[in-house]
Structure 1
Amino acid sequence: MSTQSTPSSEPVARTRRGQAKAARRAELLEAAARLMADRGFAGVTLEDIGGAVGVSGPAMYRHFSSKIDLLDQMLVDISQRLHDGGAEVVGRAESPEQTLRDLIGFHIDVLVTKPDLIAVQDRDLSSMTPDANHQVRSLQRRYVEQWVDVLLAVHSESGTAEMTREEARVRVHATFGLLNSSHRLPPYPRAALRELLTSMAWSALLARRS
């Protein structure tokens, strides 16, 4: 019996290899985020990260050219996820108020499920290469503007005093500061924390000026 691959089997094999490589990459990024959140970027080596998931040091270079390359990919990934998730929420064409609530919920979901990534982004952004840093900051700015557009629409519907785009941007940044610090908070039940953060974010975004 011939053991040669048939044309139809070769794409399947390539797909499986690609899926396995993607799964291993995701596993390595998760381990890297966990270790870097605990020790800091400077306190972790590629060998440490590989060892956490049973990958030898040399094999790490099949996925990342260096520790900085890993950091670049990790933080670009999370920034892209936030931007794309925000765009998806806005694209549902709900009412402005519901859209803002959904943006808050989406952001908190990411914080709850990826706290290590948020911690690394908060602390180690300056360790990235200039090009990746620029990409992350561009994604972050566009994500902020998604929120600003929705916040201005909510405020307009409320009939209260006019809010400038600059003020809306300050409110969004301040809210992100509040939410993104959640990994430094004392232990608290997850469901209760989600509810508390949601309420605080809504209040911060729409707080009346004295």
Structure 2
Amino acid sequence: MTVVRSPTRVPSPRRREILDAAARLFAARGFHGVSIEEIGGAVGISGPALYRHFSGKESLLTEMLLDVSDRLLTAAIERVTAASDGAEALDALVAGQIDFALDHPALITVHDRELGNVPTADRRRIRRLQRLYVEEWVTVLSELYPAAPPPRLRAATHAVFGLLNSTPHSAGELPRDAMAALLHHMARASLAALVNDR
């Protein structure tokens, strides 16, 4: 599935450093529990200096969630386009989501807890990017499970996201490679239930 969309601004390395630090702080203490001064201190700059990069915490949170939503969608399109068939595309999508979940558990927590603090128009943009990401999965799954109607494929996709995005609760339980392999096996096993569509 190819979509035409306006690209999200790619953060500079410094902005990326600030976004990553803010994600860790927001995940640990909540959006309202973290000050601009603390975010600046986490990357070695003063609070006022942070305003050269972001107009405030709200704009920082907005860019954080827009950026990750855009990156997930872009990577999914690239993975699906490069795959030779539906099975390979699905494996690539699952692997990509696992990489994200294992590498960025703080972003999962921030999204779940703090999306409501993003301005309405930007929240709609984030949701649109996420819907497009889901549809990449649905398109691949429809090729592999043609008897399953789209609402069932969509529900299965969200269920798999719930499984894979459980990493904030399981980080460090297993070595990364072992955890990735376990998650991949569980995701594919759960999606195999679509064979028995009713």
TM-score, structure 2 length as denominator? Answer: 0.89
Is 1:61 the equivalent of 2:51?
yes
Is 1:177 the equivalent of 2:167?
no
- Give how far 1:93 is off: 4.2
* Structure 2 partner of 1:9: none
Distance 2:163 2:89 in 1: 20
* Structure 1 partner of 2:89: 99
* Structure 2 partner of 1:193: 179
Distance 2:55 2:22 in 1: 14
Answer with 172-181 or 114-123: which moved more. 114-123
Matched letter for residue 58 of structure 2: I
- 1:107-126 alignment runs, 5 A limit: 107-126=97-116
- Kindly provide the CA deviation profile for residues 66-100 of structure 1, in whole angstroms up to 9, marking residues without a partner as x: 10110000000000000100010111142101100
* Structure 1 partner of 2:67: 77
- Give how far 1:37 is off: 1.0
- Kindly provide the CA deviation profile for residues 137-163 of structure 1, in whole angstroms up to 9, marking residues without a partner as x: 00000000000000110113xxxxx21
**Number of residues of Structure 1 aligned to a counterpart in Structure 2:** 186
Matched letter for residue 203 of structure 1: A
> Gaps (5+ residues) in structure 1?
1-20, 157-161
- Give how far 1:188 is off: 2.1
- Give how far 1:134 is off: 0.6
* Structure 2 partner of 1:136: 126
Distance 1:22 1:182 in 2: 27
* Structure 1 partner of 2:20: 30
3-state SS of the aligned residue for 2:82?
coil
Matched letter for residue 71 of structure 1: L
- Kindly provide the CA deviation profile for residues 8-34 of structure 1, in whole angstroms up to 9, marking residues without a partner as x: xxxxxxxxxxxxx82211111110011
Distance 2:45 2:28 in 1: 20
Distance 2:17 2:158 in 1: 31
* Structure 1 partner of 2:151: 166
Answer with 194-203 or 184-193: which moved more. 184-193
- Select the residue among 21, 42, 47 that pairs with 2:37: 47
- Kindly provide the CA deviation profile for residues 33-60 of structure 1, in whole angstroms up to 9, marking residues without a partner as x: 1111111111111111000111111111
Distance 2:164 2:116 in 1: 21
